[in-house]
Chain A
């Protein structure tokens, strides 16, 4: 098989692949972008010598040197603020926030600065940065290692929000995010770093190894931002979902024998509205699923869009399955997590309507 490198145009079908878990896919994407673009720099807490607490940056400092991949002080405001300044200079920084739960000290720099730089300067200054951050629950992370704060970002004009659900997508989407000239927040569902999770926490987790979406093409490829992926075609209902919940939804629909059309949104802003409309118009029923808390979560936006744009095709009210409106609990994690029972009930309700 021919090796794939540089700017060679290849069809993904022809490209050689190898199985990777999501961490390896992310590491591979970073490696490729560091190699391709001398303006890419990676920084964050523990990302340098140590290679990151989740190993996402392992080996990169050794390969590219300390001025391309380096450790930072423990200051999210500093990490993101410095990245904005680097972007203004002309670099393409890829800062890491160790957990999405700790992104809040950097919010002013993200919301007031990175998101608005292009707009307020009429394009004179831009913030071509990608903030990588592990998010989501299901790992007994308690209150501050489990949150899903995506709705805080989708509400901000000027930021793109991306969430992969497979190693294949993680690599292609991360490469697109880094190449994108707008600030991107790249949420990595840490529950599925090492293997897909179907919601059955009491059963052993399978590794990514044998999963078809873990066959990751070698070399450079990108997946466009703003394009959803149809996980499964179906007629009975549309499931709008992203991140870890893609796999939970898939498992529940399979077990219940429901002919669901499952759409992995992949990018929340800008949203692939055509894919959403097309599917809901076909099925007439829509289920929205996310781990994040319910009130003012991204599901509310999805539900409103479907209602506005597909109203005359709807045969039942849009259902939302989400985390509860509480901080993420430790011991009661599985009572909180929107697992198979909650999703199953919603499906029954939708199909019974």
Chain B
């Protein structure tokens, strides 16, 4: 036998391994003309109770409502009131103001870590507006917009980010890994995609109990490669679970472009077809399209018609996290050239177009939101910032591992307190 790597000596063509490569790297001129952006309003909208297979064409299309003329078009227009539109705009702008401030806070050393969602605000805010406030959401780490849309206090978010004595999670979790049962916001895990089967299980439980609550989960396109994605969709399909899976396709998983999750061959929405569940691919920077799709899927789930997978086609406009520098792996021009624009800008222009908003109002709102974030930051800082002593007592580190403290944790807690007394004698 020939040695491996020598072609084998057979009269057969050599095989070649395909390793995906993004179209543009740092310094490259960006041309996104290969991305097909259909005209807004041309996609059909099947009934929520339709057979899953009727949505197959929508899995490779792109549902859009807001056109280049800033008007709403077609059957997916959710026909929201101007008040509702202004509320969504406000929440998206607040998320952005919050992100800017927290990013700065990390750079100033007030905390260890932060993750922005710049450019993806619609995928959480508009989606949250389409759900009932008690529908349990199973977010990834980039859906802070859900908390903001649900009115979760900014101070609580910042307390968590600063891991201070006001932090409801007692300083145990990395910043941005929020949790709030009261706001039906499931505890965020660092382990990717684990929330997907959990959302399915929550939805199954709701169905077992004859409840009316549904579950909605979020995951990045990169994490769809995890086995949990497959398990979640299989179980959701088998038990017809009332759950909505949101895949936020922001093109990048840290430094890996979406091709490493399989995007070169098909869309992420198209994965729904193989599981026999409904699928929709939407313009993730079009808040009206995101709202309409989420509402469609939620209504479908509530009617016992089962799960839906929504791909939100969007773009991660900034670095993955405060620990990441995207200029090391992608062209800075991508953000400017992104063909679907900016979700906040698009909703703002729509409201102006229909005579319900103005640039002046936008400026005033942005100023007010920046002030309110600043005020919340100041309030939170009274509870301390990371590493400045105002944390929870040492004993709390050992609590909640189990419902009750077993003997070995009690012994270790005594040790930690003893060490503290040695370091800081009274």
Query: A interface vs B, CB < 8 Å?
Result: 41, 67-68, 72-73, 75, 77-78, 80-91, 93, 105, 108-109, 112-113, 116-126, 157-158, 160, 180-182, 226, 269-271, 273
Q: How far is the CB of A45 from chain B (nearest CB, A)?
A: 12
Asked if B227 and A77 make an inter-chain contact with CB atoms under 8 angstroms apart, the answer reads yes
Asked if B170 and A89 make an inter-chain contact with CB atoms under 8 angstroms apart, the answer reads no
CB-CB < 8 A to B180: which residues of A?
Answer: 124
Using A85-B204, A85-B205, A125-B179 as known contacts, list a sample of 11 further A-B pairs with CB atoms less than 8 Å apart, ordered by residue number in A: A67-B208, A73-B234, A73-B235, A75-B234, A84-B198, A85-B198, A86-B201, A86-B205, A113-B194, A125-B181, A157-B401
Q: How far is the CB of A92 from chain B (nearest CB, A)?
A: 10
Q: Is B206 an interface residue (CB 8 A)?
A: yes
Knowing A112-B194, A121-B169, A273-B407, the reply to whether A81 touches B179 (Cβ < 8 A) is no
Partner of A105, one of B203, B227, B235: B227
Q: Is B267 an interface residue (CB 8 A)?
A: no
Asked if A91 and B208 make an inter-chain contact with CB atoms under 8 angstroms apart, the answer reads yes
A16 to B227, CA, bound (A): 48
B198 (CB) vs chain A CBs: closest residue: A85
Interface string of B145-175 (1 = CB under 8 A from A): 0000000000000000000000011101100
A121 to B173, CA, bound (A): 8
Asked if A118 and B235 make an inter-chain contact with CB atoms under 8 angstroms apart, the answer reads no
CB-CB < 8 A to A108: which residues of B?
Answer: 191, 194, 228
CB-CB < 8 A to A120: which residues of B?
Answer: 169, 172-173, 177, 179, 187, 189
Asked if B215 and A85 make an inter-chain contact with CB atoms under 8 angstroms apart, the answer reads yes
A116 (CB) vs chain B CBs: closest residue: B189
Asked if B201 and A226 make an inter-chain contact with CB atoms under 8 angstroms apart, the answer reads no
Partner of A118, one of B203, B207, B400, B408: B400
Q: Is B186 an interface residue (CB 8 A)?
A: yes
Which residues of B from 200 to 239 have beta carbons under 8 Å from A? Answer: 200-209, 215, 227-228, 230-232, 234-235, 238
B233 (CB) vs chain A CBs: closest residue: A78
CB-CB < 8 A to B10: which residues of A?
Answer: none
Partner of B199, one of A75, A85, A87, A124: A85
A83 to B169, CA, bound (A): 23
Asked if B197 and A85 make an inter-chain contact with CB atoms under 8 angstroms apart, the answer reads yes
Asked if B201 and A89 make an inter-chain contact with CB atoms under 8 angstroms apart, the answer reads yes
Q: State how many residues of chain B have any CB contact under 8 Å with chain A.
A: 47
Q: Is B403 an interface residue (CB 8 A)?
A: yes
Q: Is B402 an interface residue (CB 8 A)?
A: yes
Asked if A82 and B189 make an inter-chain contact with CB atoms under 8 angstroms apart, the answer reads no
Which residues of B from 265 to 317 have beta carbons under 8 Å from A? Answer: none
Q: How far is the CB of B394 from chain A (nearest CB, A)?
A: 15
Interface string of B228-272 (1 = CB under 8 A from A): 101110110010000000000000000000000000000000000
A91 (CB) vs chain B CBs: closest residue: B205
A317 to B273, CA, bound (A): 63
Asked if B186 and A88 make an inter-chain contact with CB atoms under 8 angstroms apart, the answer reads yes
Most chain A CB atoms below 10 A, which of B168, B228, B402: B402
Asked if A122 and B402 make an inter-chain contact with CB atoms under 8 angstroms apart, the answer reads no
A41 (CB) vs chain B CBs: closest residue: B208
Partner of A119, one of B190, B199, B227, B400: B400
Most chain B CB atoms below 10 A, which of A67, A85, A117: A85
6 sampled A-B residue pairs with Cβ under 8 A: A75-B234, A75-B235, A78-B235, A118-B400, A119-B401, A123-B400
Asked if A88 and B198 make an inter-chain contact with CB atoms under 8 angstroms apart, the answer reads yes
Asked if A160 and B402 make an inter-chain contact with CB atoms under 8 angstroms apart, the answer reads yes
Asked if A158 and B197 make an inter-chain contact with CB atoms under 8 angstroms apart, the answer reads no
Q: Is B406 an interface residue (CB 8 A)?
A: yes
A210 to B417, CA, bound (A): 53
A158 to B399, CA, bound (A): 10
Asked if A113 and B189 make an inter-chain contact with CB atoms under 8 angstroms apart, the answer reads yes
Q: Is B196 an interface residue (CB 8 A)?
A: yes
Query: Which 6 interchain pairs have the tightest Cβ spacing?
Result: A85-B201, A81-B197, A78-B231, A82-B201, A89-B205, A85-B198
